[in-house]
């Protein structure tokens, strides 16, 4: 519990790091597919389960046995992280990467992996690490294999969990990146600008659709009051009639507007 409390003290800093990890989820799942090609051959799927913050100590301790952990160092933050494979993921990899067809997924012995299995996972894990490195390099974060021991202190980390489904089995791969490294990647993405020579890019991107969201209001209620809500109940929100709402795209505020109605539908009239 201590680690969770220390992570929560990061406040907005940790929330921004989690948001950055979630925004990177399509690239992370694509990296897994590239590194483990047999998934596509078996019509398997890779899903992003979600991102959350824990201490590095809890992330390491949370790896169930048998599992495999591949440590790495992230630059320029000089923080440590790791890629973790749970037992079912290792069993899937042993079968698929060694030419199996999914009919005989091996059963792993509880406890540590055998030396041969450790060597196999070092090779496969290195391929996944390289694929993740390709995702992070364009945003200024370099990750490389670290041969030392992972620290077990309470430095905050962002865990991005990916599920691998193939041949009726499901395994989990987690990517644990220090919060400082995750924030460095997010900052680099925000600062990236269109170069003068890329004059054609705005025209190309002009047809790309983005989702706009207008939040009409929020409120807080006690759980006992939420439990009493039924069809016909009303919920009072903080936005007054004729008040202002914020219009956002990808979480960023673009305009403020005023809710109104037109032809029986709610509309937002841009004011600022």
Give a yes or no: residue 114 inside a domain. Answer: yes
Task: Quote the number of domains for the chain.
Answer: 2
Q: Do residues 35 and 138 share a domain?
A: yes
Residue 220 has pLDDT above 50, yes or no: yes
pLDDT at 205: 54
Q: Do residues 21 and 154 share a domain?
A: yes
Q: Do residues 179 and 235 share a domain?
A: no
For residues 53 and 179, the answer to whether their CB atoms sit within 8 Å is yes
Average pLDDT on 156-175 reads 85
Count CA atoms within 13 Å of residue 181 on its CB side.
27
Could you tell me the strand order of the sheet in which 265-270 lies? 212-214, 245-249, 252-262, 265-270
pLDDT at 4: 43
Least confident of 164-168, 174-178, 243-247: 243-247
Q: Do residues 181 and 226 share a domain?
A: no
- In terms of pLDDT, which residue wins out, 127 or 258? 127
For residues 77 and 179, the answer to whether their CB atoms sit within 8 Å is no
pLDDT at 2: 39
**How open is the CA angle 23-26-82, to the nearest 5 degrees?**
80
Exposure of 130 by Cβ count < 10 A (0-12 exposed, 13-18 middle, 19+ buried)?
middle
Residues 50 and 159: their CA atoms lie apart, in Å, by: 8
pLDDT at 269: 80
Exposure of 95 by Cβ count < 10 A (0-12 exposed, 13-18 middle, 19+ buried)?
buried
Last residue of a domain, one of 127, 160, 191: 191
Q: Where in the sequence is the domain holding 15, given as residue range(s)? A: 2-191
pLDDT at 8: 44
Residues 46/47/52/53 CA torsion (nearest 10 deg): 0
Average pLDDT on 232-254 reads 73
Residues 269 and 259: their CA atoms lie apart, in Å, by: 6
Q: Do residues 252 and 120 share a domain?
A: no
For residues 60 and 69, the answer to whether their CB atoms sit within 8 Å is yes
Residue 248 has pLDDT above 70, yes or no: yes
Average pLDDT on 9-29 reads 76
Residue 225 has pLDDT above 50, yes or no: yes
pLDDT in tens, 38-86: 887 777 888 888 888 888 778 777 777 788 989 999 888 888 889 999 8
CATH of the domain at 9: 3.40.1550.10
Percent of the chain with pLDDT over 70: 78
For residues 159 and 49, the answer to whether their CB atoms sit within 8 Å is no
- When pLDDT is cut at 50, 70 and 90, the band that residue 7 belongs to is very low
Q: How far is CA 96 from CA 53, 115, 174, in A?
A: 31, 19, 19
Q: Do residues 176 and 241 share a domain?
A: no
Residue 209 has pLDDT above 70, yes or no: no
Q: Do residues 227 and 115 share a domain?
A: no
- In terms of pLDDT, which residue wins out, 33 or 227? 33
pLDDT at 240: 66
Strand pairing class (68-75; 142-145): antiparallel
Residue 268 has pLDDT above 50, yes or no: yes
pLDDT in tens, 81-111: 899 998 888 888 888 887 776 666 777 776 7
**Mean pLDDT, the chain, whole residue set:** 77
CATH of the domain at 264: 2.30.330.10
- Ramachandran angles phi, psi of 114, nearest 5°: -70, 160
pLDDT in tens, 108-162: 776 778 888 889 999 999 999 999 999 888 878 889 999 888 765 557 788 888 8
Give a yes or no: residue 205 inside a domain. Answer: no
């Amino acid at each position: 519990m201590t680690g969770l409390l220390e992570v929560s003290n990061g406040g907005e800093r940790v929330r921004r790091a989690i948001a950055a990890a979630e925004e990177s989820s399509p690239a992370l799942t694509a990296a897994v597919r590239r590194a483990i090609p047999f998934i596509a051959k078996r019509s398997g799927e890779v899903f992003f389960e979600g991102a959350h913050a824990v201490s590095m100590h809890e992330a390491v301790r949370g790896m169930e046995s048998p599992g495999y952990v591949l440590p790495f160092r992230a630059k320029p933050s000089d923080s440590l992280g790791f890629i973790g494979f749970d037992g079912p993921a290792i069993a899937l990899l042993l079968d698929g990467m060694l030419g199996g067809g999914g009919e005989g997924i091996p059963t792993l012995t509880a406890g540590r992996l055998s030396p041969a299995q450790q060597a196999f996972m070092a090779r496969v894990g290195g391929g996944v690490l390289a694929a993740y490195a390709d995702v992070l390099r364009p945003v200024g974060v370099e990750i490389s294999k670290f041969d030392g021991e992972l620290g077990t202190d309470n430095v905050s980390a962002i865990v991005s969990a990916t599920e691998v489904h193939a041949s009726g089995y499901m395994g989990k791969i987690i990517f644990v990146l220090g919060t400082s490294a995750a924030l460095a990647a997010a900052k680099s993405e925000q600062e990236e600008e269109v170069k003068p020579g890329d004059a054609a890019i705005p025209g190309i991107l002009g047809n790309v659709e983005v989702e706009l969201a207008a939040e009409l209001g929020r409120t807080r209620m006690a759980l006992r009051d939420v439990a009493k809500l039924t069809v016909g109940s009303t919920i009072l929100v903080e936005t007054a009639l004729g008040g202002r709402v914020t219009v956002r795209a990808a979480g960023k505020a673009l305009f403020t507007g005023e809710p109104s109605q037109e032809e029986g539908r709610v509309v937002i009239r841009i004011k600022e």
